[in-house]
Structure 1
Amino acid sequence: MTEPPATTVPSGIPALEAATASPRGENPELLVVTGMSGAGRSRAAAVLEDLGWYVVDNLPAQLLPQLAGMLSSGPGGVHRLAAVVDVRGRRLSADLVGVLDSLREAGLDFRVLFVDASDEVLVRRFETVRRPHPLQDGRRILDGIADERVMFEGVRRRTDVLIDTTELNVHDLAREVRAAVASGTEDEMRLTVVSFGFKYGLPLDADSVSDVRFLANPYWITELRHLTGRDEPVRDYVLGLPGAQLFVDRYLALLEPVLAGYEHEDKRYATLAIGCTGGKHRSVALSEAIAAALRAQGRRVVVTHRDLGRE
């Protein structure tokens, strides 16, 4: 069967001109994510969202030029845009090929990420979730896969990044996607160190909780009571207490295998909770000290003090 002629996108439309106006050097990026059904498109999209990409799923190929017009190098604009596109028919496959070629001819800098897997693995995945292949149409799963491979031939020839998920689990796939698109520190785990008061309850999102009520409470020192752990007199008092610095040092040592394990299991965010009675003195001072030490190790850390404003 002869494919219909591919759709041509005029390079003079405003959306495409806006997209090509922002050079790659200013960091606007367009990524077209596509590939075989069941190979991991949705997982790849989720990883990109975690990395801060603006992700549009199930986008018709004809809308790619208009979507690319959202790219901007200015503040408040969309700097990294991922469009997830699939093909459900020969016409749509030809449309995507035509759009990709037109965008390339117009000078738009973009990449195509294609996810694939062996037929055997794709069949097993569809059977596991008990869903038909989108092109199966009452036939065998393999028939739908075969049709989809034919439709994707033109797109595969235009692929910049190919990820074969045959032997990959979801964590492996996430690492492959990050390796393909991440730069600088955006691939690193993001840590939040939160101080809190036990009398107000545990932080609901804490991955780790530590109790520093073993230290003497500055609340009972009149000149320190009205201050917080962010104030120098309280900070110096707390960190000068017997066992305080030892706690910080050993806590950091304990975190090393924990954070390494989180990263291996593809956990990109972790919240470390440090608690005292009211969340005003000891936990605040130690949270700041722990965060400073983690930053010195090159980690991305945010500090929040949940109960600092409470009476």
Structure 2
Amino acid sequence: MSEHDEGGEQVSTGTPSETPAVPEAAIPELVIISGMSGAGRSTAAKCLEDLGWFVVDNLPPALIPTMVELGARSQGNVARIAVVVDVRGRRFFDNLRESLAELESKNVTRRIVFLESSDEALVRRFESVRRPHPLQGDGRIVDGIEAERDLLRELRGDADLVIDTSSLNVHELRAKMDASFAGEEEPELRATVMSFGFKYGLPVDADLVVDMRFLPNPHWVPELRQYTGQNEEVAAYVFNQPGAKEFLDRYAELLQLIAAGYRREGKRYVTIAVGCTGGKHRSVAMSEKLAARLASEGVETVIVHRDMGRE
């Protein structure tokens, strides 16, 4: 298409098909934030915004490739984009897979962060703010939660990072996001080592789960019962038991093998859940040692003690 300028010469106006291709080096990073309503999507998005990401809330998935292209043409001003995708649009997820396929064909580095929470925690949060669940309709809050879980099941399976916020406060969620996204350079692998108590349930965001209940329980030693696995005497008691040191050494070796596979598959985050009965002694002591071992091997590691403070 062309038109004449004042001197009579033709001036090309160009068409979208004639626009030069965007260099791959200019393509921004992309993070898609999704998950259960009430699980903390807004907090996660605000955290990335504070880290310098360009955040777009409630963007239809069909427009995600367009947003990435606009970022690529910003001459480096928009190098990292975070998009919050939720159920408010109801039909948004119909287009999501097509958009993800298009992004992959353009070599866009994209990650999916999924915010998870238990039904009990979600019900409590919706009741505390006296708001209905966006999918409950004329039913109950639990009906909306069930419908949303079903809608998001496939997306959760595709997520690169799943964060369970059931027992996290706002500050703890921000700390987990900071641990995953802060820093100038992207590490090869980031690990969260989480101690927990089996009697409080398995962490739903765990990639790997190990059981420390094969070791004697310091709870039954009166002088150790009041302390946690962070106490030197408790840790010494745990690691003086037959099999404790051997387990640490062999499991650390196994994690090296697993980590190499994760890197080959492009997985950047892993949550290792270490459990005992109450999540106070054995799992805490082992988590501390395991996290230190991973850190010494170059894996950026954050440690979380989910149930250590419970009575």
* Bigger Rg, which one: 1
Give TM-score scaled by structure 1 length. Answer: 0.50
Give TM-score scaled by structure 2 length. Answer: 0.50
